[in-house]
Each structure stands twice: as structure tokens, then as C-alpha cells.
Amino acid sequence: MNPTIGALQQHSQLDALDNRVLLCYALGINRIALITQSERVLSDGELQRYSALVQRRLDGEPIAYIVGQREFFGLPFEVSSAVLIPRPDTELLVELTLERTPVRGRVLDMGTGSGAIAVSVAHNRADADVTALDVSDAALAVAQRNADTNQARVSFLRSDWYTALADAPRFDVIAANPPYIASGDHHLSEGDLRYEPVGALTDHADGLSALRIIIAGAPAHLKPQGWLLMEHGYDQAEQVRALLSAAGYAEVQSWRDLAGIERVSGGKTG
């Protein structure tokens, strides 16, 4: 006889939370139903679907890619292997951006990927004028769907950093979570990162090259007193502050994520 829903929760090779997510996804039911239907025996088709998903997870594929979704800033985001999986750390960047966006302010998200930052800002601030760019058409397609699903008004633009912005009106805040892992960093060949788009993770250089481009170009696209806010690696805050100071930004500072790590740095134009 096939196992019950309850039995599959007691005996799994997976982490308990991962297992529940895959069970729900395979059976098309919610968390509550896992409990209320715990005595139900799986059909052959359900068992096959579930087992295939478990195998993908055991092979190392991230849960978010298997189920095609990840929650970020309280909103559901579609994800695929074309985009980085949104991290909870990045919610700090959204909060800092929201705090610095004036009424009807203009916000730019550079390298938007799934659209996590731009869509979260626009969803919470219908008055704001949010632009998001990415060099990847595949990422922009995912981001556009996330904007639609989450009732967020965002203008998308295919652009290699600032190149396609030309003389667009200036912004109040520029936010970016660029690729900042140095080439050859061992994290790139471990865990979830093996499945994520390499161009979203590493600059194929020292980890700071995208941050340098963003810092150098932002003053030409920011209003006076505008803010540049960038996420970076756990050990890059001091270097990023030095780059910002050298480029003449004011009020240069870093902010800590929930783990207490300096995760976002930024500065203001004069």
C-alpha cells in the first residue's frame, strides 16, 4: 500500500520544512490540509510526482526553483533559473529604499532579476515612479510577471547598467543588488548557488567591479540629495564605503542585516 500523507512527513530524507513544501506542491494542497488529511493514502500518480520532486531536492536543486516561487517582502515571487532567488537579507535594501523615497519619488533598481526590489517598492508605494533594468531579457520577462501578479507599477528597461538610460529624468534613489561574489570564490560551487545564474552572482573579477560601475555612474542619474544604496558581500562594506567616499558621496554609511552583518552601503549626492 502507498504511504499516507502523515507517514511521508515522519519519514523523509529531507529537511522537514523542505519536505512539507514539496508535499504540498506535489499534492496541490496547503499546509493545513497536510494535517487534516494526514491519514489519506497517496495515489500512485501523487507518489510518483512527490518522489520525483524529492529526488531533485536530494540532487541539490533549490526548493524555490523546484516549486517556481519564493516569498520576499511578504509577496509571492515567481523564480526560475533565469533569476537569482531573492534572499531575506535583501529586504534591508527595500526598507532603506522605501524610507528614502519621497512622495511621488523616482526609484531605479539596477539589475532587477526577479524584480524583487522594484516590485516590493512599487507594491508598497503606488505613488512612486519605479524603473527597473536588467541586461537579461529572460530575467525581465520574469520580473514583468512579478510586477503584474503583485499589482506593482514598474517600468522595465533592458540595459547593461546605465547604457540604455540615456537622459531619463533623474532619480531620488538608486538601489542595486549587483553580482558581488569574486571569481573563484568557493561559494559559487556550493549549495543553491550552483543552480543560480552565474551572471547574477559574480562579476568574474574581484567582486567589486559592478559596484564600481554603479558608484561611478550614479551621480549623473541622481537628483541633488539623492541616495545610492547597494547590497554587497559580508566582507565588502569597508571597501564599498571607501569607493563611495573617493567618488565624493556624502553621508557614506553601512547598514546591518538581521544577522548583524554590514550588508548594504550607500551615500548621498551633494
Q: Does 265 bind ligand GLN (CB under 6 A)?
A: no
Q: Smaller CB distance to ligand GLN: residue 42 or 240?
A: 240
Cell numbers 512539507 correspond to what residue? 20
CB of 265 within 8 A of CB of 240?
Answer: yes
Number of residues that bind ligand GLN (CB under 6 A): 9
Residue among 105 and 113 whose Cβ is closer to ligand GLN? 113
Distance of CA 176 to the CA centre of its chain: 10
Q: How far apart are CA 137 and CA 245, in angstroms?
A: 34
Q: Which of 87, 204, 212, 223 binds ligand GLN (CB under 6 A)?
A: 87
Instruction: Determine if 177 is a binding residue for ligand GLN (CB under 6 A).
Output: yes
- Reading the block at residue 47, the C-alpha cell is 507518489
Report how far residue 99's alpha carbon sits from residue 107's, in angstroms, rounded to the nearest whole number: 12
Please report how close the Cβ of residue 84 comes to ligand GLN at its closest, in angstroms: 6
Least Cβ distance, residue 163 to ligand GLN (angstroms)? 20
Choose one: 40-48, 54-62, 66-74, 173-181; the region binding ligand GLN (CB under 6 A). Answer: 173-181
Q: Rounded distance, CA 48 to CA 202, Å?
A: 37
For residue 203, which amino acid is it? D
Closer to ligand GLN by CB, 84 or 218: give it: 84
**Is 177 or 269 the residue whose CB approaches ligand GLN more closely?**
177
CA 99 to chain centre: 19
Site string for ligand GLN, 196-225 (x = CB under 6 A): -----x------------------------
Rounded CA separation 165/255 (Å)? 28
Closest approach of Cβ 30 to ligand GLN, in Å?
29
Joined together, the cell numbers standing for residue 221 give 542619474
3-state secondary structure (DSSP) of residue 241: helix
Contact residues toward ligand GLN (CB under 6 A) are 84, 87, 177-181, 193, 201
